[in-house]
Amino acid sequence: MQLTPEQFAACTRCQPTVAAVWVSHINPQLTRWKIDTPARVAGFLAQMSHESARFTRFTEGLNYSAEGLANTWPGRYSVNPNAAVKVPNDLAKSIARNPEAIANHTYANRMGNGDVASGDGWRYRGRGPKQITGLENYTRLSKDVGVGFVNNPDWLLQPRYGALSAAWYWDWKQCNQLQDAGDFKAVTKAINGGLIGYDQRLELLENAKRVLEVV
């Protein structure tokens, strides 16, 4: 199915001007990745709208305070990860409010990235509506769709490639099948890795289903 700008805006609760830009890039990807029933489209739009703050945020926000680092990644940045109140360690204090340093330390030696000095954490920070993160995922995406995102990671900030990466990720995680089964919690875990923001995602899903008249 193909969405009108009005349907896209209503489903995602984004601004009409945003919908006018994104719908022309989303529609071809719905066809390409067989997100082709109202239920599948509703699930996809609900997840991506939540992930991207209604299609307004396409790069990872990493401007954490020391306290924010300790609470978000206590194993790395808290003096005592098991304490009820997380106290920032010296590393957290030294890199606080420095997004590049935070990315390089947080994502070092993970997701295919090199060490802190490699700069891979910052180079391959989250981008696009789905926040593709890590050299491993950039490499997989590039190979699967035939576009060189490894050497051009900022391309994911463009709507045409952001739409492509979001639909590719949905397909990679077999979300069509999960959505067909009506298991939106499983869809959320596939997209998010957990159930963060599940209530808001579910509310967006029910809204999109009403717009698209999903029975």
Share of the chain above pLDDT 90, in %: 99
* pLDDT for position 27: 98
CA-based torsion, 129, 56, 47, 103: positive or negative = positive
Mean pLDDT of all residues in 109-113: 97
Tokens of 88: 């920032």
Whether residue 215 is predicted with pLDDT greater than 90 in this model: the reply is no
pLDDT in tens, 159-196: 999 999 999 999 999 999 999 999 999 999 999 999 99
* Confidence (pLDDT) at 89: 98
CA–CA gap between residue 119 and residue 141 (Å, rounded): 20
User: Residue 129: pLDDT band by 50, 70, 90 thresholds?
Assistant: very high
Q: Are 76 and 41 in contact (CB under 8 A)?
A: no
What is the pLDDT confidence band of residue 199, given thresholds at 50, 70 and 90?
Answer: very high
Short-list 43, 39, 6, CA closest to 23: 6
Separation between Cα atoms, residue 94 and residue 72, nearest integer Å: 16
Average pLDDT over residues 43-55: 98
What's the confidence (pLDDT) of residue 1?
A: 87
For residue range 67-98, list pLDDT tens digits in order: 999 999 999 999 999 999 999 999 999 999 99
Tokens of 151: 């050497």
